[in-house]
């Protein structure tokens, strides 16, 4: 399967997940977006040696992956694009930071701890975004962005990108397939074809944009989309937000774990 | 104002048009059409059919001659008003349907014309039921088949309650079943229709009147039955007999 | 070169969001002034196009590997800096959401690192000045390569700075820079060549589609002022940050903790740091050194507490799964 097909399948799959009737899918998009951002904020703000409470932030992921019936592997697979940079940045910490944290047979250094913290942050942040996008469509996210007064023109452009990405993606797949059939030994587009191949496609896409514009203006488009009002907040939405805010606060700013632990020791 | 007594839909006299300084694309086109008519617009490639359609919805205003839609002259001040009366179904449904779901796309026009929520909902329901897509209203456009997309495009136009519907090659890329569905739907629609197509069989099934264009002007304007049997006239203008008459 | 959420602290993320928001606000104002309704659908479709072209593989002559198109320079040469910038924001947002390429928190950084440099610097400082007297193959090629290389270098440098200021890595500044810049030099060069090929084609097929060709007279002084402004802002940004960094770097770790991290982190890490430095009683396993700070958790009781919470949540999740299965089988 080509890279393009893989990407398109991934989007299709996300789309199917978004369309399901789950508890998470039904939550107000503003609440989901805010919770996700607060989670990531709390997560990345953990000091680098605080590996334990940072690790415990996984409870959000565990609960929501289960509530949302999502596959953890699909989430982890999405690490592939961002992981290399995170690894490069983190992998050297043990070599540079020899601060002694504790000894468990061997000396655990600050570098080791901060590397693990960084990896956890990287993985958790991607998984948290996955939960958001697997339960919330781009439209709903745009609705949330509108709610936060993001300018209409930007929201409109995002919606159009979302709509036409799929069409152009499929076109890219066909172009690539047709190319490969006539150039079987190449793993990419030959440099002589860079200009004409992409250029023609670009011109076709511009023509399409022209028709899209005509179609819009024939239906009264005056520069901005008009959006129908939607969704009001329910108690569940508020409760969801408050609950997670409390959890993030407790983990990040209090010694709740120690207090719990002492009850058991 | 739309009233029942209003009969005139399209009134074109001596219409001419050219892009920039090039050879004129249209010259001396005359066409008069009234409510309820269904007109086929045929002709070989590149003789100005699409240009004519675009002029009729005011996508280009640099024409010469007379062009009136529902008695309103096509001038800049009238364009928005005229577009409430006339809808255009593009050949490429994917370019026409730019929203994410069917219902949003159908609601786009009514919302832009400032209608209230209930009225928009009423129109969405009306338009989708006319093309038998009501149960697919939440469906995402990229998941729809070519036939469904064509019907959805028509619904986006119907939601504007137009008097006139223009169509550019509506039957292209439809399978036989969807084609039959489309023909039935078109024949149920009371609006005045102008259908540009190479598909003469499709025109025969949907239009009682046909206009043949060549070289930027109208060569024939009369009953569909008559022109479709006139092999000589069709061939002279780069067309062939409808498939059903060929053997 | 997408920035990840994990590599930045909230203060850096916020700063970059603010910077990107200002640039976006300015762009929106500019677009509204232009009052060209057609821009919106063109931006949408171009965004999707750039997104889709990123998935094509381009064979790099003489090597076995392939390159890709990122699109900032391409977008601004076709749409101009403002529409190009907004389009790239859309692309980056959708990319981040759909493919986890870049994160929600890092979006501000990514917009700045890729879209801002690519569109504003690329279009206003390189493309337009070079095209003001008309186009030629050579000029387009040079502008594309120069623009891609330069803006990508700036982007890569910003990634380095943002990460280092966030105090995430112990990697010395010099090492980090020496890793990031050369990699992106090669990437930028290839991207520049692909962009050049496409733009040359467009110039031959439909030259009117290219932005900013021979238009210098139109905006005149205003654009020059704006251009200078951009240079000033960038210079101030780099100058300030770099000099600050250079002067403060000797005590790297402490510097990043004190200057950048919020007070809450400062307290915690400060004490952890002290405690760790003082630790000599290696006889005890997992000493409670961080407990007194009130939010440590890297203590024995903290670890026990953590285990309790995680086990509890896993338990609840198993129950949820079980319950769901039951209801679904009942339904079936």
pLDDT 10s digits, C99-109: 888 889 999 99
Based on the structure, what is the number of domains in chain A? 2
pLDDT recorded at residue C228: 60
A69 domain-assigned: yes
Domain match, A175 and A126 both: no
pLDDT recorded at residue A260: 86
A265 domain-assigned: no
pLDDT recorded at residue A217: 87
Q: What is the mean pLDDT of residues B13-17?
A: 93
Higher pLDDT, B195 or C303: B195
Q: How far is CA C119 from CA A161, A251, C80, C161, C182, in A?
A: 18, 41, 8, 20, 22
Output the CA angle A168-A142-C83, nearest 5 degrees. 60
A142 domain-assigned: no
- CB contact, 8 Å: B83 with chain A? yes
User: Is A214 within 8 Å of B92 when comparing Cβ atoms?
Assistant: no
Q: Give the integer Cα–Cα distance in Å for A215 and B108.
A: 11
Q: How far is CA B202 from CA B38, B147, B158, B208, C82, in A?
A: 12, 15, 21, 11, 47
Domain match, A13 and A86 both: no
Domain match, A68 and A127 both: yes
Mean pLDDT of chain C: 76
Higher pLDDT, B73 or A88: B73
**CB distance A253 to C268 below 8 Å:** no
Q: What are the pLDDT digits (tens) for B198-228? A: 999 999 999 999 999 998 899 999 999 999 9
Distance from CA of A217 to the nearest CA of B (A): 9
- Buried-exposed string B128-144: b where 16+ CB fall within 10 A, e elsewhere: bebbebbebbebbbbeb
In chain B, which residue's Cα lies nearest the Cα of A207? Answer: B95
Chain B neighbors of A140, CB-CB under 8 A: none
For residue C251, pLDDT over 70 is answered with no
**CB distance A162 to A145 below 8 Å:** no
pLDDT recorded at residue B5: 54
Q: What is the ipTM of this complex?
A: 0.92
Provide the token pair at C305: 């507490």
Q: What is the mean pLDDT of residues A224-229?
A: 70
Higher pLDDT, C231 or A87: A87
Q: What is the mean pLDDT of residues C31-38?
A: 86
Q: Give the integer Cα–Cα distance in Å for B219 and A215.
A: 30
For residue C277, pLDDT over 50 is answered with no
pLDDT recorded at residue C230: 60
Q: Give the integer Cα–Cα distance in Å for C305 and A263.
A: 8
Higher pLDDT, C173 or B223: B223
| Selection from B100, B167, C43 nearest residue A140 by Cα | B100
Domain match, A116 and A169 both: no
Q: What are the pLDDT digits (tens) for C175-215? A: 888 888 888 888 889 889 999 999 999 998 888 889 888 76
Q: Give the integer Cα–Cα distance in Å for A97 and B12.
A: 83
Domain match, A210 and A194 both: yes
**CB distance C153 to C181 below 8 Å:** yes
User: Is C170 within 8 Å of A114 when comparing Cβ atoms?
Assistant: yes
Domain match, A120 and A24 both: yes
Name the residue among A163, A208, A214 with its Cβ closest to that of B99.
A163
Q: Give the integer Cα–Cα distance in Å for B103 and B138.
A: 6
Higher pLDDT, C1 or C243: C1
For residue C79, pLDDT over 80 is answered with yes
User: Is C96 within 8 Å of A113 when comparing Cβ atoms?
Assistant: no
Q: Give the integer Cα–Cα distance in Å for B67 and B77.
A: 14
Chain B neighbors of A164, CB-CB under 8 A: 98
Q: What is the mean pLDDT of residues B171-186?
A: 91
Least confident of A69-78, A110-119, C220-229: C220-229
User: Is A163 within 8 Å of B92 when comparing Cβ atoms?
Assistant: no
For residue C279, pLDDT over 50 is answered with no
Chain C neighbors of A53, CB-CB under 8 A: 295, 297, 302, 306
Provide the token pair at A30: 């503003």
Name the residue among A209, A222, A260 with its Cβ closest to that of C45.
A209
Q: What are the pLDDT digits (tens) for B43-98? A: 998 888 988 998 999 888 889 999 999 999 999 898 888 988 999 999 889 888 98
Name the residue among B99, B113, B142 with its Cβ closest to that of A166.
B142
Domain match, A30 and A63 both: yes
What's the farthest any 2 CA atoms get from each other in chain A? 75
pLDDT recorded at residue A222: 77
In chain A, which residue's Cα lies nearest the Cα of B162? Answer: A219
Task: Show the domain range for A83.
Answer: 20-136+230-260
Domain match, A154 and A205 both: yes
Q: What is the mean pLDDT of residues B109-117?
A: 87
Neighbours of chain B (3+ CB pairs under 8 A): A
Give the phi and the psi of residue C292 in degrees, each rounded to 5. -65, -20
Q: Give the integer Cα–Cα distance in Å for C293 and A222.
A: 58
pLDDT recorded at residue C304: 85
Could you tell me the residue ranges of all domains in chain C?
5-28+49-331
Q: What are the pLDDT digits (tens) for A148-161? A: 999 989 999 999 99
| Selection from C189, C184, C117 nearest residue C146 by Cα | C189
pLDDT recorded at residue C241: 54
Domain match, A190 and A235 both: no
Chains A, B: CB contacts under 8 A, how many? 72
Domain match, A101 and A204 both: no
Domain match, A28 and A132 both: yes
Q: What is the mean pLDDT of residues C275-288?
A: 37
**CB distance A11 to A130 below 8 Å:** no
What's the farthest any 2 CA atoms get from each other in chain B? 55
Burial degree of A172 (CB within 10 A; 0-12, 13-18, 19+): buried
Mean pLDDT of chain B: 90
Best A11, A171, A219, A227 member to test B by mutation, with max B CBs in 10 Å, is: A219
**CB distance B184 to B30 below 8 Å:** no
pLDDT recorded at residue C291: 33
User: Is C317 within 8 Å of A62 when comparing Cβ atoms?
Assistant: yes
pLDDT recorded at residue A161: 92
Give the phi and the psi of residue B218 in degrees, each rounded to 5. -90, 125
By a Cβ cutoff of 8 Å, what residues of chain A touch chain B? 15, 19, 137-139, 159-160, 162-164, 166-167, 208, 211-212, 214-222, 225-229
A144 domain-assigned: no
Q: What are the pLDDT digits (tens) for C294-311? A: 344 457 788 888 888 888
- Percentage of chain C modeled with pLDDT above 70: 71
Q: What is the mean pLDDT of residues A80-98?
A: 82
pTM higher than 0.80? yes
Question: For residue A111, what pLDDT band results from cuts at 50, 70 and 90?
Answer: confident
User: Is A137 within 8 Å of B94 when comparing Cβ atoms?
Assistant: no
Name the residue among A92, A163, A212 with its Cβ closest to that of C169.
A92
Q: Give the integer Cα–Cα distance in Å for C195 and C68.
A: 10
pLDDT recorded at residue C182: 86
Q: Give the integer Cα–Cα distance in Å for C20 and C32.
A: 18
For residue C266, pLDDT over 70 is answered with no
pLDDT recorded at residue A102: 74
Note the CATH number of domain C5-28+49-331. 1.10.1760.20
Phi-psi category of residue A209: left, alpha or beta, with phi > 0 → left and psi -120 to 50 → alpha: alpha
Q: Give the integer Cα–Cα distance in Å for A116 and A99.
A: 15
For residue A103, pLDDT over 80 is answered with no
For residue C264, pLDDT over 90 is answered with no
pLDDT recorded at residue A41: 94
Q: What would the 3-class secondary structure string for chain A be?
A: CCHHHHHHHHHHHHHHHHCCCCHHHHCCHHHHHHHHHHHHHHHHCCCCCCHHHHHHCHHHHHHHHHHCCCCHHHHHHHHHHCHHHHHHHHHCHHHHCCCEEEEECEEEEHHHHHHHHHHHHHHHHHHHHHHHHHHCCHHHHHHHHHHCCCCHHHHHHHHHHHHHHHHHHHHHHHHHHHHHHHCCCCCCECHHHHHHHHHHHHHHHHHHHHHHHHHHHHCCCCCCCCCCCCCCCCHHHHHHHHHHHHHHHHHHHCCHHHHHHHHHC
Neighbours of chain A (3+ CB pairs under 8 A): B, C
Q: Quick one: angle between helices C81-99 and A152-182, nearest 10?
A: 70
Chain B neighbors of A19, CB-CB under 8 A: 140
Domain match, A132 and A243 both: yes
Q: What would the 3-class secondary structure string for A64-122 be?
A: HHHHCCCCHHHHHHHHHHCHHHHHHHHHCHHHHCCCEEEEECEEEEHHHHHHHHHHHHH
Q: What are the pLDDT digits (tens) for C63-72? A: 666 677 778 8
pLDDT recorded at residue A265: 76
């Amino acid at each position: 399967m080509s890279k393009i097909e893989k990407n398109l399948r991934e989007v299709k799959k996300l789309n199917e997940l978004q369309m399901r009737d789950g508890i998470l899918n039904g939550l107000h998009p503003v609440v989901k977006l805010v919770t996700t951002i607060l989670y990531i904020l709390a997560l990345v703000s953990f000091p680098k040696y605080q590996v334990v409470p940072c690790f415990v932030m996984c409870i959000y992921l565990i609960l929501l992956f289960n509530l949302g019936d999502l596959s953890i592997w699909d989430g982890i697979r999405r690490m592939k694009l961002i992981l290399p940079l995170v690894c490069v940045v983190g992998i050297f910490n043990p070599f540079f930071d020899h601060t002694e944290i504790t000894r468990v047979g061997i000396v655990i250094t600050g570098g080791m701890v901060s590397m693990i913290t960084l990896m956890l942050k990287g993985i958790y942040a991607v998984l948290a975004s996955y939960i958001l996008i697997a339960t919330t469509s781009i439209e709903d996210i745009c609705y949330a962005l509108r709610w936060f007064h993001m300018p209409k023109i930007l929201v409109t452009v995002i919606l159009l990108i979302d709509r036409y990405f799929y069409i152009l993606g499929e076109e890219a797949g066909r172009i690539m397939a047709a190319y490969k059939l006539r150039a079987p030994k190449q793993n990419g587009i030959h440099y002589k074809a860079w200009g004409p191949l992409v250029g023609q496609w670009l011109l076709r896409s511009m023509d399409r944009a022209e028709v899209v514009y005509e179609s819009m203006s024939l239906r009264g488009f005056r520069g901005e989309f008009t959006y129908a009002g939607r969704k009001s907040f329910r108690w569940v939405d508020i409760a969801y937000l408050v609950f997670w805010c409390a959890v993030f606060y407790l983990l990040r700013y209090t010694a709740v774990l120690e207090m719990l632990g002492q009850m058991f020791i | 104002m739309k009233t029942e007594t209003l009969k005139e839909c399209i009134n074109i006299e001596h219409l001419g048009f050219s892009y920039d300084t090039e050879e004129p694309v249209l010259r001396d086109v005359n066409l008069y059409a009234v409510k309820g008519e269904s007109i086929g617009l045929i002709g070989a490639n590149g003789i100005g059919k699409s240009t004519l359609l675009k002029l009729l919805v005011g996508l280009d205003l640099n024409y010469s001659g007379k062009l009136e839609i529902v008695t309103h002259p096509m001038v800049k001040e009238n364009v928005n008003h005229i577009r409430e009366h006339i809808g255009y179904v593009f050949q490429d449904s994917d370019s026409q349907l730019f929203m994410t779901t069917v219902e949003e796309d159908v609601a786009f026009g009514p919302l832009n014309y400032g209608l209230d929520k209930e009225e928009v909902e009423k129109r969405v329901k009306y338009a989708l039921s006319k093309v038998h897509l009501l149960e697919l209203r939440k469906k995402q456009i990229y998941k729809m088949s070519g036939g469904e997309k064509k019907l959805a495009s028509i619904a986006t136009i119907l939601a504007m309650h137009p008097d006139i519907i223009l169509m550019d090659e509506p039957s292209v890329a439809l399978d036989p079943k969807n084609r039959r569905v489309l023909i039935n739907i078109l024949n149920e629609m009371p609006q005045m229709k102008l259908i540009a197509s190479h598909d003469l069989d499709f025109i025969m099934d949907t239009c009682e009147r046909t206009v043949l264009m060549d070289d930027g002007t109208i060569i024939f304007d009369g009953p569909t039955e008559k022109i479709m049997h006139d092999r000589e006239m069709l061939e002279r203008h780069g067309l062939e007999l409808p498939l059903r008459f060929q053997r | 070169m997408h920035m990840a959420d994990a590599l930045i602290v909230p203060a850096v993320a916020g700063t970059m969001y603010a910077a990107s928001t200002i640039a976006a606000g300015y762009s929106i104002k500019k677009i509204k002034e232009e009052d060209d309704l057609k821009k919106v659908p063109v931006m949408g479709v171009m965004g999707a196009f750039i997104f889709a072209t990123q998935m094509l593989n381009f064979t790099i002559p003489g090597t076995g590997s392939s390159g890709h198109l990122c699109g900032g320079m391409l977008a601004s040469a076709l749409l101009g800096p403002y529409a190009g910038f907004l389009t790239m924001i859309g692309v980056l947002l959708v990319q981040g959401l759909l493919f986890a390429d870049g994160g929600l928190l890092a979006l501000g950084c990514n917009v700045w690192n890729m879209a801002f440099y690519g569109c504003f610097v690329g279009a206003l400082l390189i493309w337009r000045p070079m095209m003001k007297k008309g186009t030629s193959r050579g000029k387009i090629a040079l502008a594309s390569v120069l623009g891609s290389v330069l803006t990508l270098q700036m982007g890569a440098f910003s990634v380095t700075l943002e990460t280092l200021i966030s105090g995430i890595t112990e990697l010395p500044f010099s090492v980090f820079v020496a890793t990031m810049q050369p990699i992106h030099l090669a990437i930028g060069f290839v991207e520049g060549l692909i962009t050049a090929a496409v733009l040359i084609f467009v110039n031959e097929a439909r030259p009117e589609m290219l932005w900013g060709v021979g238009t210098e007279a139109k905006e005149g002084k205003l654009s020059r002022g704006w251009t200078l402004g951009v240079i000033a802002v960038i210079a101030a940004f780099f100058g300030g940050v770099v000099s600050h960094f250079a002067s403060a770097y000797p005590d790297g770790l402490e510097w990043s903790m004190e200057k950048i991290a919020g007070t809450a982190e400062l307290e915690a890490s400060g004490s952890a740091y002290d405690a760790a430095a003082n630790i000599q009683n290696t006889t005890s396993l997992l000493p409670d050194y961080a407990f007194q700070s009130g939010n440590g958790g890297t203590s024995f009781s903290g670890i026990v507490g953590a285990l309790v919470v995680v086990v509890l949540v896993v338990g609840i999740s198993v129950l949820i799964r079980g319950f769901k299965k039951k209801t679904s089988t009942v339904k079936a």
